[in-house]
Amino acid sequence: MQQYNVIGIMSGTSLDGVDLAYCTFQFNTHWTYAILKAETFSYSEEWKKILTELPTKNAETFVKVDSALGKLFGQLVKDFCTKHSLDPDFISSHGHTIFHQPDSGYTSQIGDGSSISAVSGFPVICDFRSADVALGGQGAPLVPIGDRLLFEEFDYCLNLGGIANISFEENNQRIAFDVCGCNIVLNALACRLGDEYDEGGKYAAKGTINNELLDKINKSGYFNKPYPKSLGREDLEVDILPVFDKPGMKVEDLLATFCEHIAQQIGKQTKSGNMIVSGGGVHNSFLLDRIKFYSKASIVVPDVQIINFKEALIFAFLGVLRKRKEVNCLSSVTGSSRDNCGGIIWEP
């Protein structure tokens, strides 16, 4: 029975940091896994500024940042391996999403794989979305193949990251899609109060829901689209964040209203059964309580490593499937013309 030792790298759209997870995978009659070491490395203020502003910069700047971020990832991996005496078979990196417009035929996750490999000294697998977009798919979400094969005991898998997404089985097919914005919006609102995020939902808990605003958000065109569908950061910046620029409203009220929106949208997607919830939004107890109020599924909060590193774990797993030349992207999820095996391999 072959064992794969892989470091998964995840950089989320909410810019809360770079997750590294050293994982092992084995297959007998089904897949088993373990997260042996995991850490989150915060972005410096300079890097946050660079990544936030990059979508508006020119092509030369984009290429420079792509390379520089790859070198940063590579150094983080190198230091992580030295610190914990690790020798992974390869690195599997999601990259950091700058553009995601699959309906226009493109997506871009930076953090150059050749630079990661050159600096870390390990083979690297990255760029998991492009092949699916080229096949007419959304290129997202990618996590559902891991949900199906690693978390099969759950009826629903919900991730509360920069964007909230969900996956489940329906008519013997895996269905998954981005439900709505999540931490991208909540963090942007918390910044107005001088904090990077609303810790525990303490500000939202003090707020009052604005039903007129809630109704306006819920009527955004995205929520009437059938799946497969996905959201990009730029979609939220165009369709959602401007709604909160209304003068005279307390930020606490805006946070409470958006938490209610998230919970209502998730509640619409869940029937009876159990639902594992992961991602940084799990630490927002106010948001989690509102989701419990609207959801018909029983909420399961896993151990802290799964909460914080489930996406890094699954991107490590996508690399394993790529290495084995097995499907790691499902057309039932993305709407592409066929199941596919995405990812570019870089050797040091």
Report domain extents, the chain: 3-138+315-322+329-346, 145-304
Same fold yes or no, 3-138+315-322+329-346 and 145-304: yes
Cα 238 from chain centre: 20
The pLDDT value given to residue 241: 85
Angle at 286 between CA 154 and CA 308, to 5 degrees: 50
* 145-304: in CATH 3.30.420.40: yes
The four Cα atoms 35, 165, 14, 288 give a dihedral, to 10 degrees, of: -80
- Asked whether the beta carbons of 111 and 69 are under 8 A apart, the reply is yes
pTM score over 0.95: no
User: Contact at 8 Å (CB) between 344 and 125?
Assistant: yes
Q: Does 55 sit behind a cis peptide bond, omega within 30 degrees of 0 on the bond before it? A: no
The closest alpha carbon to 287, from 255, 311, 244, belongs to 255
pLDDT in tens, the chain (348 residues): 899 999 999 998 778 899 999 999 999 999 999 999 999 999 999 999 999 999 999 999 999 999 999 999 999 999 999 999 999 999 999 999 999 999 899 999 999 999 999 999 999 999 999 999 999 999 988 999 999 999 999 999 999 999 999 999 999 999 999 999 999 999 999 999 999 999 999 999 999 999 999 999 999 889 989 988 888 888 888 888 888 887 889 999 999 999 999 999 999 999 899 999 999 999 999 999 999 999 999 999 999 999 999 999 999 999 999 999 999 999 999 999 999 999 999 999
Contact 96, 109 (CB under 8 A): yes
Dist CA 137 CA 128 (whole Å): 12
How far apart, in Å, are the Cα atoms of 298 and each of 96, 176, 306? 32, 19, 18
How far is 24 from 88, CA to CA, in rounded Å?
Answer: 9
CATH topology of domain 3-138+315-322+329-346: Nucleotidyltransferase; domain 5 (3.30.420)
